[in-house]
Structure formats: C-alpha cells, structure tokens
Amino acid sequence: MKHIQNFLLLTALPLTTLVYAQDTKSFPAANAPGGHDSAQASSSPVPTIASAIDREISIVEKELIDAAEAMPEGKFDFSPEKLNISGSDYKGVRTFGQQLKHVAASNYLIWSPITGEKAPDTVNDGKGPDNMTAKADIIKYLKDSFAFGHKAVATLNASNLVQPITRNNKPPTTRLFLATFAPAHAFDHYGQIVEYLRMNGIVPPASRGQ
C-alpha cells in the first residue's frame, strides 16, 4: 500500500508543476507582482485634486467654445429681446456675444485670487471689453480666460486647497470654492446660450446626434 502511495505522489508532482507552468505562461501579468491591476494603474496618471477640477473646467470650456463657433457672426448681437415675444420680459438682457464676454471676464475675476495674479484690465467689471464685437476676438478672449483658469487650478494641492485667502472688499474664501465656482458659473450661462442658439434654429453641438 505504501508503494502505491509513493507512486501516486511521484506521478502527481510533475503534473502539478506542468499545470502551474502553463498557467503562468498563459497569464504572465496576472501572476506578476500586482497582476493586471498594477499594469493598468501604471499606465494611467494618478488623479489629483488639480486634475479632477481641471477636467470639469475642460468640459464646460469645450461646450461653450463649440456653441460660440456654431453661432453665425451676424447673430452675435442677438438677444431674445429682438423676438418681441408677447408677455416676455427680455428687455436689456445680454446679447449672445455679451454672454460670452461676461463668462470670460468672470473667469478672470474668479480665478485670479487663486494665484494672486492680476486679472487683465479688459474684465470691465465682469462685462468684458465694450468695443469687442467680432466673433473671432470674442472666442479668443473666451479661450484665453480658460487658459488662465487651467494655469491657476494647476497650483492646487492638499495644503492650499482650503487655506483662507482674502480678496478686496469681499469676505475671505478658499481656492477650492473659487476653482469650482467658475465652471459652475460658466455652466449657468451655457444653459442660456443654448436657448439663444435654439431661438435661431441652431442645434447646440453638444446635443447633435442625440
């Protein structure tokens, strides 16, 4: 009986070794330290506070710029007031171009305290340059304001995120609030801009094909 047990044991060992070797050959990454998860993790950048907020900014930036590009230049002075809709109250609301300039100027004003860099003189109390009316100029002004935001948000880290910062004639705030409030404000105006496009028979680029 003992001879039979020894024979079975000696037979099983090579078979086990062969199976393990085949398994290792078939799934080398899974059997390496860390397995597939380590391989995938090493190929993707580790998320940070700055990168997470930057991604949010990029989303609204794209939607706003695409919407601006979709509106013909001759319609940049359009506002719902021109439609004379009975019972409406659109008197004095911003034109399409003014909406974009307001978002851009506000971006500068909101993000500038994050780094302390001075906002450009063109912010004009959040209105943007009064004499800027050309489509290309307004879109560039908008793009430049988002570039300013990306640069400011890149300085965020765990140590300065909620550290109080002071602003002229305003209560103290935090970099986290400013960094996230700017895209929230931009999304608010994007919603209005979408209606301006619809009123002119233009489907917003973000809604096309849906």
Q: Give Cβ neighbours of residue 101 (< 8 Å, ≥ 6 apart).
A: 127, 128, 129, 132, 138, 141, 142
- Provide the mean pLDDT of the chain: 85
The three-state secondary structure class of 165 is strand
Same domain, 102 and 197: yes
What's the predicted TM-score (pTM) here?
Answer: 0.78
Provide long-range contacts, Cβ within 8 A and 24+ apart, for 106-110: 106/182, 106/185, 106/186, 107/145, 107/146, 107/148, 107/149, 107/182, 107/186, 108/145, 108/148, 110/178, 110/181, 110/182, 110/185
| Strands 165-167 and 170-173, sheet pairing | antiparallel
Give the model confidence (pLDDT) of 125-184 as tens digits: 999 999 999 999 999 999 999 999 999 999 999 999 999 998 878 899 999 999 999 999
Backbone angles phi, psi at 171, to 5 degrees: -65, 155
pLDDT of residue 55: 97
Going from the C-alpha of 48 to that of each of 26, 53, 55, 157, the distances in angstroms are 35, 9, 11, 8
Same domain, 12 and 104: no
pLDDT of residue 40: 56
pLDDT of residue 68: 98
Residue 206 has pLDDT above 70, yes or no: yes
Residue 21 has pLDDT above 90, yes or no: no
Top-confidence residue, 153 or 47: 153
Same domain, 34 and 89: no
Give the model confidence (pLDDT) of 59-94 as tens digits: 999 999 999 999 999 999 999 999 988 888 899 999
Q: What number of CA atoms fall less than 13 Å from residue 32's CA on the CB side?
A: 11
Q: What number of CA atoms fall less than 13 Å from residue 118's CA on the CB side?
A: 3
Confidence of residue 42 (pLDDT cuts 50, 70, 90): low
Q: What's the domain count of the chain?
A: 2
pLDDT of residue 168: 79
Same domain, 106 and 198: yes
pLDDT of residue 51: 96
pLDDT of residue 188: 98
- Which residue segment(s) compose the domain that 178 sits in? 49-207
Same domain, 147 and 196: yes
Residue 20 has pLDDT above 50, yes or no: no
pLDDT of residue 169: 81
Same domain, 150 and 180: yes
Q: Give Cβ neighbours of residue 60 (< 8 Å, ≥ 6 apart).
A: 183, 186, 187, 190
Same domain, 57 and 31: no
